[in-house]
Copies of this chain bind each other. A is one copy, B any other.
């Protein structure tokens, strides 16, 4: 059986017109002799409206009931899709998570799928039916409805693709794939045809518009190849797969960036073993994520300057925590809100010497000053002044021949 999982996001089912379009897409696969399992999110806006209602009832709304509430959104969209397919003469029905069942752990509002019973859906497919499965939800051992949290419908699609050994898992959304960089900032950005899970995860700023990092992790761990496509445009999308499946690995796959970081420098910190840990401990306790970190050794060996980046939103809290921290001694604290992190990402770089040099010299040629550097196996990031963002993306996109 040639099974394909087609997942449609909120905007792809955002109106009756869009739902009719979804039915057309589904039928195009049926005509190619695929057995289709549809997974759908709630119509865009519905989930947010339900969440708003719950907040009006209680700022601390009961989590079990929250899941009952929000899961009604996919129940609607899936019955409408199945209704449309029936209208067009196809045998189709909606399947709620509890009907299959899709078993999750006991956690509410951010549950994880642990098992999917296959027999009912398989029987239904074999008889020629098109199942339309509610994304984002399941049922736990207590027979309570659970929801999977942000990006949960992607997780449903990925796990169904895994359990049913689907030939394809296509995520239909409102963007038509992953680009080498943001086309809004740099017009010559080109669409990436194939990208590895690892690259996709490192392309945070670009990738997040397409899929939640958690879903990419799910796909990677379960070895499910993901096709990301637009349900609005008839265009080739991007295939997200494992490294080995990619034959011609480019050195650099794309250029990712951030716009909402802040840089903090502690000048003249009394250097002693464990000082960095003392500084960062309260951040960790307050769920503040430290990204890039650089420590300079001072001339006399007794003092050090420590620089790190955090989300701009966390800046005030971070400065407060530092000032309140009695276990550290420093002369001065400097803060810079006008920074951006630019990263080049590519699994090819680990086997290609000189990538770092090419990146730095491309930036130097355009007179861009590098504030902080950090590297991983498949990514090199530099912190720059925000005003140089566009210039640096242009320089790097050209340097690594990513222009379309």
* Residues of A in contact with B (beta carbons under 8 Å apart): 16, 19-20, 50, 53-54, 56-58, 60-62, 64-66, 68-69, 71-73, 75-76, 78-80, 82-84, 86-87, 93-94, 96, 98-99, 143
Contacts and interface: CB of A to CB of B under 8 A. Distances in A.
12 contacts: A16-B57, A20-B57, A58-B83, A58-B84, A58-B87, A62-B86, A62-B87, A68-B75, A68-B96, A69-B80, A75-B75, A98-B98
Nearest to A59: B87
The 6 closest A-B pairs by CB, nearest first: A58-B87, A68-B79, A62-B86, A69-B79, A72-B72, A65-B83
Nearest to A75: B72
Q: Oligomeric state, in number of copies?
A: 2
B61 A83 contact: yes
A87 B57 contact: yes
A319 B74 CA distance: 48
Given A72-B75, A98-B98, A93 B65 contact: yes
Contacts of A98: 98
Contact of A60 (B61, B69, B72, B87): B87
A71 B72 CA distance: 9
A64 B80 contact: no
Contacts of A82: 62, 65, 68
Contacts of A50: 76
A96 B96 CA distance: 13
A66 B83 contact: yes
Contact of A68 (B19, B69, B94, B143): B94
B99 A16 contact: no
A94 B68 CA distance: 8
Q: Which of A58, A71, A72, A93 has most B Cβ within 10 Å?
A: A72
Given A16-B53, A53-B16, A76 B83 contact: no
A19 B54 CA distance: 11
Nearest to A71: B75
